[in-house]
A and B are shown apart, each in its own frame.
Chain A
């Protein structure tokens, strides 16, 4: 039964990923649609960051908030993304373990 469920999950995940390939192949978009599609990555990043980041520790949104501020600061300093990631993991670790709330 689990295998049937996984096949179902596979189909409903893959179809939305596949269909855009054919849409884009067939249709020439108008300029405003192209501008909308160009903006999608930034909109997606925004929607993916907030408010999800607040929930990395349940009931302690401050950990995600401060961890996010550390990530912003490190990226503003032009650090490579890998170091931004490691820095904010460290910040979260310190907040969770050294200063338990």
Chain B
């Protein structure tokens, strides 16, 4: 490896360490939820293989919980697949935003990254846009997504295997973990640039308003993200964020 004296090249290990630090809260939030999912999926009669395979293939918590509920009440497969599409379509919008930031990373490396985009991996990754400008940035986002994926799949297996190891009182209070992480990501950006509060608050109220109109949560989040984001068009400058 050549290291020039003027530009300091970071080792991939250093970058991965930073990625792990940034992604650790996701693991903390995913484990109890994955375990809860495993327990529920097991209770409605999915085999250990089926419930773990669902986590490995789908990697989208809300839709997995929904599928488990729908199986429990005897809904057909087609309805479950359509509902999954509606619920997860928000990742299309999020990915459009994220991939626009990762311009420096080559296509064949962006493809596996894109498959690992969830609400949480997107939220954390997009708070570190400067890593996307480096060719080495793949190690940063790859570490965040990789560890999130592993903890989701292992947590699901663990839940299916061990059933009721987490007392309900604790797992219920852990339900706030991912929301707290979203808040913990938003507040520092607000302190840096107060304008982002307007964007977030408008999105909140669009989501809430859509629910009042009887629109499903999946689409309500999509609308909140699309139209809330539009507030940013006049507010943000290109060099911002």
A residues with a Cβ closer than 8 A to B are 1-10, 12-14, 16-21, 23-25, 29, 31-32, 34-53, 56-57, 63-64, 67-68, 70-72, 74-76, 78-79, 81-82, 84-93, 95-97
Contacts and interface: CB of A to CB of B under 8 A. Distances in A.
B184 A56 contact: no
Contact of A49 (B81, B196, B204, B235): B204
Contacts of B206: 47
Contacts of A71: 176, 179-180, 183-184
B58 A10 contact: yes
Nearest to A88: B180
Given A16-B92, A46-B186, A29 B200 contact: no
B201 interface: yes
A18 B176 CA distance: 29
Could you say which interface size class chain B belongs to? 35 or more
Interface of B: 24-25, 28-29, 46, 50, 53-54, 57-60, 63, 67, 71, 77-78, 80-82, 84-85, 88-101, 103, 107, 110-111, 114-115, 117, 119, 122-123, 126-127, 169-170, 172-177, 179-189, 191, 196, 199-204, 206-208, 211, 217, 220-221, 224-233, 235-238, 240-241
A82 to B, nearest CB: 5
A48 B123 contact: yes
26 contacts: A9-B58, A12-B81, A12-B84, A12-B85, A13-B63, A16-B92, A20-B98, A21-B107, A25-B107, A35-B237, A36-B229, A38-B232, A40-B94, A42-B196, A43-B226, A43-B231, A44-B90, A45-B200, A45-B203, A46-B201, A46-B204, A47-B204, A48-B119, A48-B123, A49-B186, A88-B176
